[in-house]
Amino acid sequence: MRVGLYPGTFDPITLGHRDIIKRAAGLVDRLVIGVAINRDKGPLFSLEERVSMIEAETKDLMTETGIEIVAHPFENLLIDCAHDVGAQIIVRGLRAVADFEYEYQMVGMNRAMDPSIETVFLMADAQYQAVASKLVKEIARLGGDVSKFVAPDVEKALKAKLSN
């Protein structure tokens, strides 16, 4: 069984993330969405909220693809998380050349720790290449329309969170 791990903060999950998840599901038999507990980033949504959004946003993709997709919180090294979930493949989404430089360094470090785990890069679909959770939060915070960047339920959650 090929197990893939797609890690990120997903604060919140965007349509770009969903696009990568859908395409990654075509490469593996089981896809684990590694939800990073990154206290340094100070996420807007709690871990439980992010996991819940991911589960809601991937439910129909599981039916569509026939692939099990699960959310898995983690706070350890990515390579250790891959071991924990039995992943042979780490999936990384790329939006732009700037992403590649950082990701290239990460691949080198991860390969040094475990050369048996392969990293696969998927380019974001052209319509999502500029979409970043950080920018989505900023647009929402300033009262802008984020409906082109996130699913309706995520948009509602953003509005509710920011109205408090």
The catalytic residues are 17, 41, 95, 133
Helix axes 47-65, 15-25, angle to 10 degrees: 40
124: its two tokens: 């974001």
Rg (CA), the chain: 15
DSSP 37-80: --TTT--SS-HHHHHHHHHHHHHHHHHHH--EEEEEEE-S-HHH
Q: In terms of Cα–Cα distance, which of 81, 116, 122 is closest to 99?
A: 122
- For residue 143, count other CB atoms closer than 10 A to its CB: 8
Contact partners, residue 70, CB within 8 Å, separation at least 6: 30, 31, 32, 33
Residue in the block written with tokens 């898995």: 72
